[in-house]
Structure 1
């Protein structure tokens, strides 16, 4: 789904969808690779860039990066039809499956991968486990939209994940870093998570763009009607999602470029379990959605909300608990550096699977449910 397109969608194959994308969106992987390279170049060539980026923060996240994330999130959330989002809560199959994957299976899988791949590196291992506990509330909206997922379902699942993050993050951290390792006879890690940092991450990176997106749609539709809003307004604000994404990626790589260059083997060791995690969890989400007959749009939404992680929160918690130069913080930073290119690739995998494994009826809407036009 093009970031510049309106909310209208029609059931069609993945190749047709890719063919309809604008030139900018068709070359998205190229722009992302270019943003990564530019970030690394800036980080290596501009003296004091790290200090400047870290000078002002929102919570424990650099202010320029926070701005990029908000710019990235706002257009996607302005596309959501909020009057239809409530029906998602009545889809018990989607809601229960999402909660099980996000809060039971995915964290447990990351715990296992961390111990399998990093048994001798406790700091990186702890950082990976924290990444696994931080469920995605930001970039997943971008990947879901590009893959023609269900926007309303994505908005609701992101909101539910946010609530669970505030409530459950600290308890799950204790469970996976202390109780379960002790039960298995493994070394434990002591960590006190900041409730304030978790809440701030949710409020800033979901609350602000969610409110802005809702108000933009509500005011636009009240003034001019839905047809005008989706045909005129959305195409004008839509491209800013891509601009925000590329800006954020550039700054992330600039901020950590020196560390990546100085410790490439460490980065590789952290990257391997992350790669396995993203691929397996995404594949499990697709398989479970297909098995439950959720239809393509909700299936891909389930997969992306399960595979993505809230790197803003993971980095903030790791820095706040263990320090900015800690191995835990490095593992948190490597998370989005691997997640971004992998999930971009999975957008194209999803569009391919749309044509290969989903019937036209399943692409149009899940059976036996009243659906809106995509």
Structure 2
């Protein structure tokens, strides 16, 4: 991600070119500081949070959208789009990703929400919505840091986006009304805007994907691949981290008061989220290893399954149940837990690389 090393392409057959730079090695520190700064700003600066609340386009916060675009653009500019055909032809990877994201992921979150929050229906519903919102943004950062397959991540994220538009509302109806009714549990009514889901996908994936593709195409055509990957990308790379930290500060500033005012509720919501991330990631790594996908594709499979589209989940919860609802708070706690946990799983993934007969990146 940073300018200290060349991370233009991640391939398990290459030498260790994707070593974590000094900037990336301290990523947990920067994230903790960004979270703390956001919480402080949210508690002490009413004018800032009011300004952020007013800067929205539909249900999307414009400043957060900018942060996500800045975060995703450098990662998508690194993708070798000419090589994505090898991913679309890998039926094992595509099949495993669909199973992980659209069968195991939502079902696991449903089970954990009911097991751990049986007495808190609003938070339970919020978590189920989080489980349905498959990641299309920050997963690219975690995959990049873990030396996953960048082209595979781009393809899987695109597939998640298409499924999200067409399947989110139907799955929401199934997990909130049909399945609970079959099991004799309480049901929840919710209306999901397909248009809002489509806009979320177009903004958070479509724009940076088009920009990244155009940048690589023009850069390689004008200056050549060597210059593009050895000179341009190392300069562009750090902006992904800057965008990530900026987004985290804004997210926690917007929700700082809700988080700090309900510490016990946050802890209750955090438990099923922690279990979800750990279990999903582990299943993904084991499945990839058993299928013989190799380290890079296995890491990509695990991270694309473990991450969630918190922006979409929060937007859906607010639009359906209101900004002060328990469902919205559950959505907000999502990134509070997801960000540090998935950063930790990056290091777990790099450690697990040795089990795939590939030397782990040097520190």
Instruction: State the TM-score, normalized to the length of structure 2.
Output: 0.95
**CA distance in structure 2 between the aligned counterparts of 1:297 and 1:306, rounded to whole angstroms:** 14
**CA distance in structure 2 between the aligned counterparts of 1:128 and 1:322, rounded to whole angstroms:** 13
**CA distance in structure 1 between the aligned counterparts of 2:93 and 2:72, rounded to whole angstroms:** 23
Matched position secondary structure for 1:293: coil
**CA distance in structure 2 between the aligned counterparts of 1:96 and 1:141, rounded to whole angstroms:** 20
**CA distance in structure 2 between the aligned counterparts of 1:11 and 1:91, rounded to whole angstroms:** 16
Listed one character per residue, the Cα deviations across residues 149-202 of structure 1 (whole Å, up to 9, x for unaligned) are 000000000000000000100100000000000111111000010011100010
Gaps of 5+ in 2: none
Give the aligned partner of residue 72 of structure 1. Answer: 71
Give the aligned partner of residue 369 of structure 1. Answer: none
Q: Pick one of 357, 360, 365 that aligns with 2:358.
A: 360
Distance 1:184 1:44, change over 3 A: same
Give the aligned partner of residue 262 of structure 1. Answer: 261
Deviation at 1:308, TM superposition (A): 0.2
Give the aligned partner of residue 52 of structure 2. Answer: 53
Contact 1:72–1:244 (Cα < 8 Å) also in 2: yes
**CA distance in structure 1 between the aligned counterparts of 2:96 and 2:12, rounded to whole angstroms:** 24
Give the aligned partner of residue 221 of structure 2. Answer: 222
Deviation at 1:40, TM superposition (A): 1.0
**CA distance in structure 1 between the aligned counterparts of 2:201 and 2:60, rounded to whole angstroms:** 12
Matched position secondary structure for 2:46: coil
Give the aligned partner of residue 28 of structure 2. Answer: 29
Listed one character per residue, the Cα deviations across residues 71-130 of structure 1 (whole Å, up to 9, x for unaligned) are 000000000000111221110000001001100111000000010111111111000000
**CA distance in structure 2 between the aligned counterparts of 1:33 and 1:241, rounded to whole angstroms:** 17
Gaps of 5+ in 1: 365-374
Give the aligned partner of residue 248 of structure 1. Answer: 247
How many residues of Structure 1 are paired with residues of Structure 2 in the alignment?
Answer: 360
Give the aligned partner of residue 320 of structure 1. Answer: 319
Where in structure 2 are the equivalents of 1:1-374 lying within 5 Å? 5-9=6-10, 11=12, 20-355=19-354, 357-360=355-358
Deviation at 1:59, TM superposition (A): 3.4
Contact 1:283–1:303 (Cα < 8 Å) also in 2: yes
Listed one character per residue, the Cα deviations across residues 310-362 of structure 1 (whole Å, up to 9, x for unaligned) are 0111011111111111111111111111000000000000001112x11139x
Matched position secondary structure for 2:84: helix
**CA distance in structure 2 between the aligned counterparts of 1:3 and 1:182, rounded to whole angstroms:** 53
Distance 1:269 1:12, change over 3 A: farther
Contact 2:10–2:296 (Cα < 8 Å) also in 1: no
Contact 1:59–1:201 (Cα < 8 Å) also in 2: no
**CA distance in structure 1 between the aligned counterparts of 2:285 and 2:273, rounded to whole angstroms:** 18
Deviation at 1:6, TM superposition (A): 3.3
Distance 1:11 1:92, change over 3 A: closer
Deviates more, 1:2-11 or 1:267-276: 2-11
**CA distance in structure 2 between the aligned counterparts of 1:63 and 1:109, rounded to whole angstroms:** 32
Contact 1:78–1:217 (Cα < 8 Å) also in 2: yes
Instruction: State the TM-score, normalized to the length of structure 1.
Output: 0.93
